[in-house]
Amino acid sequence: MTLAPHILAGALIGSQVSSSATAFALGVLGHYFLDLFPHYDYPIYYLKRVNSKFNEKFLSQMLKVFLDLAAGVVIVFWILGTPSLNSPITWAMLGSIIPDGLTFLYWRMPKQKILKVLALIHETVHLQKEKPGPNWFGLVFQTSVTIITIALLFSLN
């Protein structure tokens, strides 16, 4: 799943709890929950290659990831305003993307054992090839999650 829906879901989770630590943990769990379902991922082949250099293809894919992340954050800020750094919303948003961030670190540093364990957990939850359903279902599911989450965030205001 792209980062924006994870961030939006994290913001929604964080808006419902009072503890930043709980919000962070629920954000991480929310990430894994959403990844259980078929969804859309844009190609990030050059980010996954350990030996890939910081060339145009790598930077192009990194830009996609950054724009995706920025889109999620901007939408949350637009709907809810800018949460404080110690806000449960902020911590849940961070938790909601941390599994992808740690997986990226593993791709860059595959000899780090703790990163390998965390990446394997993420990959186990994330394996789409074993999930039933046509490919279009993933795009519909992700779009639905995004629209419903935005609607629920608007209802908080």
Query: What are the pLDDT digits (tens) for 71-97?
Result: 999 999 999 998 898 999 999 999 999
In whole angstroms, what is the distance from residue 7 CA to residue 75 CA? 9
pLDDT at 89: 97
- CA 92 centroid distance within chain: 11
Helix extents (H) in the chain = 3-14, 20-35, 45-48, 56-80, 88-108, 113-126, 135-156
What is the pLDDT, as a whole number, of residue 127? 62
**What is the mean predicted confidence (pLDDT) over 32-48?**
82
Which of 149, 154, 151 has the alpha carbon at shortest distance from 7? Answer: 149
| Separation between Cα atoms, residue 43 and residue 61, nearest integer Å | 8
Q: For residue 3, what pLDDT is reported?
A: 94
Put simply, whether the predicted model's pTM sits higher than 0.85 gets the answer yes
The answer to whether 35 touches 126, Cβ cutoff 8 Å, is yes
Q: Greater confidence, 142 or 8? A: 8
Say whether pLDDT at 128 is over 70: no
Place of tokens 């703790």: 114
